[in-house]
Amino acid sequence: MAYNVIEVRGAVKHFGETHAVDGVDLTVQAGELFGLIGHNGAGKTTLFKMMLGLLPVTRGEIHIDGQPVRGEAFRQVRRSIGYLPESLALYDNLSGLEIMLFFAKLKDADPRSCLPLLGKLGLANAARRRVRGYSKGMRQRLGFAQALLGSPRLLFLDEPTNGLDPQGIREFYQILRELREQGVTAILSSHILAEIQLRVDRLALMRTGKIQALGTVHSLREELNLPLDFQLTLQPGAEEALRQALANQPAASVQFNGTMVHVRCPRERKMTMLNVLAALDNVVLDLHIKEPSLEDVFLGYSDATA
């Protein structure tokens, strides 16, 4: 049975008058890939740091792997945690391999795992080069390799794809998928919503220190009841036929752009709309249904709050 690796109960963090985290309740199950999204300053990084024991909570409780985030027991838990910070700073005067060996010693990880990990992240050829000469993407890969030292069971990844090229992003998520299959739990924050919407099991949307919404991407879409977009390609001159067909669909809004047409309708009218369009098979050349993206969900919640 899956158990809660992360349990946050009523966590509050105040910096003077600023309420960076304001009463957060959150649980993340073992083996889950969990996303944390929100505007800049929403409190994601502060929550990360509190969960890692880097910042003490003003109020509330945080347990990682059943242990409070302080004391000797948490030191043992930390040996099974990998962390990639948002602002990754590494030692420029050391080589990638030396940095890995340094952190391996601190984590009691097998030093023989350093080179294979660097190889896995595509840094085998640069392992003995000083980090001073690394590109931003290479540094990020090295940071991720460092987080994977000691075969962690829990990963905290704050903006993990910062500086990675598309190939690097794909490889990063491929590794994350493999780890997930091995039962590793990962919690990651990102502001690139398109990137994580298909990859996380659940996510939390943070706003002004609070969790505004929590669930799967699908459940958040459902909750907001965002409309669906139908993208159609029409035969030239078929606009009038479409207009007439949609005349009986008052809930639908239509935008023409030449032969490309966007029809937006409430989610519950999806099948009706499909039937209407199916009847126009002689003029509709192509049809694509676009579900609201995570970005739409994010903006939807922002608008709802505003």
Out of 16, 17, 87, 237, the only residue in the binding site for other proteins (CB under 8 A) is: 87
Q: Does 30 bind other proteins (CB under 8 A)?
A: no
Q: How far is the CB of 201 from other proteins (least distance, A)?
A: 24
78 binds other proteins (CB under 8 A): yes
Complex with other proteins: residue 88 or 123, whichever CB lies closer: 88
Question: Does residue 129 touch other proteins according to CB under 8 A?
Answer: no
Is residue 141 a contact residue for other proteins (CB under 8 A)?
A: no
**Minimum CB separation from other proteins for residue 90, in Å?**
7
Q: Which amino acid is at 240?
A: E
Nearer to other proteins, 54 or 198 (CB): 54
- Give me 214's structure tokens: 């929590």
Does 194 participate in binding other proteins (rule CB under 8 A)?
no
Can you tell me which of 66, 71, 111, 116 binds other proteins, judged by CB under 8 A? Answer: 71
| Position 102 contacts other proteins (CB under 8 A) | yes
Assign 3-class secondary structure to 124-189. Answer: HHHCCCEHHHCCHHHHHHHHHHHHCCCCCCEEEEECCCCCCCHHHHHHHHHHHHHHHHCCCEEEEE
The DSSP annotation for 13-65 comes to: EEETTEEEEEEEEEEEETT-EEEEEESTTSSHHHHHHHHTTSS--SEEEEEET
**Phi-psi group of 16: left, alpha or beta (phi > 0 → left; psi -120 to 50 → alpha; rest → beta):** left
Minimum gap (Å) between residue 140 Cβ and other proteins: 13
- Residues 6 or more apart whose CB falls under 8 angstroms from that of 266 comprise 225, 227, 228, 251
Residues that bind other proteins (CB under 8 A): 49, 52-54, 68, 70-72, 75-76, 78-79, 81, 83, 85, 87-91, 93, 102-103, 105-108, 146, 156
